[in-house]
Each structure stands twice: as C-alpha cells, then as structure tokens.
Amino acid sequence: MFDEPFRARFAAVARPAATWLARAGVTPNQITIAACILGLTAAGMIATGHPRLGLALWLASRIADGLDGAVARAAGTASAFGGFLDITLDMMAYVAVVLAFAVAYPALSYAWMCILAGYVLVITTTLALSDAASAAARRVSVTDRTFQFTPGLTEAGETSVMYTLWVLFPEHLHWLTWVWAGALLATSAQRIYLGWRLLR
C-alpha cells in the first residue's frame, strides 16, 4: 500500500549514493544480484536458528533492492531486462525466506504452503494485469517501473513488515501466518477485480 510513496522518498534520499555508485562503475544489475544474495543469506540465517541476524540481512537486502533503480536512473541505464531481473530475483528472495521459516517452524506447514500459494497468485495477477494492460494500451498504475504494479495489501513494504513481526514475535506465528495468507489472497482478488473492471 505504501510502496510508491516510499520509493519516491527513498529515491530522493538515495540520489547522492546512487550517483556516486554510478560514477564508480557499479551497475544496477550488480546491485540487484547483490540484493538477492543478501536475501538468500538472510534465509539461510533464519533456517539455521539465527533469525535476528537474518532479519538484519533481509532489511539490508531491501535497501540494496531500492538502490538498483536509483543507480539505473542516475546512470541513464534503465532497461527492460533490469526490470525483469529485479522482479525475478526479488521473488526468489521472498520465497527463500518463507521456506526458511518453514524449516525453522515446521509445525506450521499448512500455513507456509498457503503463503507460498498466495505468492504465486499475487505475482501472477500482478504481472498478468500489467501485460494485459500494456497489450490493451491501458494504464492501471502510475508507477514508472518496467511493470505496472498496482497498489495492494501485500506489497514489498508490507512483506518486510510481516517478516519482521515473524522474527520478533515467533510466539504469535500461529495467527500471523494466516493473517498474511489471507492478505495475499485479498490482494490477488483485488487485482482480479481491477482487471475485470478496467480491461473488459
């Protein structure tokens, strides 16, 4: 829900660092890959019993994930492939963290399965709506990203908030996980309705 406003503020704050990185020859795709590696390492820490370290690495990976676009704009090297790589590696990292929690808390296996199914639905509805809208020469969002991301209950920011809650309050996982699964389903339904309303 708050990804686009946050991106706008982050871009302004990160502009000096992004400009410096661009001048140093660091490419956006290198930052995208580094962010994914940090996310996968975070998952490894969570799975092996170091959730707070994992959370710190996860949050660092999200900062890096925001920097790649800023560097691309600073260097004038934004590309469709960069957007494709970004969403692909983002989903790899998001899923890896859920799998890590599933390893750490196997008693909640049904909840983890539902969350993974929710991720499939959310990303499918997101990308399908973006592609269908582009094919119909329609705009379904005001974002300047490669894909037309529409606002929803479960965007990147909300995902990181939920991962933080899982780490800090593991005693509440039995209901937090189901809240997240429900929010993912609601986001998918929201985008299906949006597609039905705007693309008929």
CATH number at residue 31: 1.20.120.1760
Q: Note down the domain range covering 183.
A: 3-199
DSSP state of 154: S
What is the per-residue burial (b if ≥16 Cβ within 10 Å, else e) of 81-95? ebbebbbebbeebbb
Question: For the segment 94-116, what is each residue's pLDDT rounded down to a tens digit?
Answer: 999 999 999 999 999 999 999 99
> For all residues of the chain together, what is the average pLDDT?
88
Q: Confidence class of residue 2 from pLDDT cuts 50, 70 and 90? A: low
pTM as predicted? 0.89
Residues 160-184: what's their mean pLDDT? 97
pLDDT for 24 beyond 70: yes
Question: For the segment 123-142, what is each residue's pLDDT rounded down to a tens digit?
Answer: 999 888 888 877 777 776 66
Q: Which long-range contacts (CB under 8 A, 24 or more apart) does 72-80 make?
A: 72/28, 73/11, 73/18, 74/15, 74/18, 74/19, 74/21, 74/22, 75/22, 75/27, 75/28, 77/22, 77/27, 77/28, 78/28, 80/146
Residues 1-26: what's their mean pLDDT? 72
Split into its structural domains, the chain has a count of 1
Residue 6, both tokens: 């946050």
DSSP state of 150: P
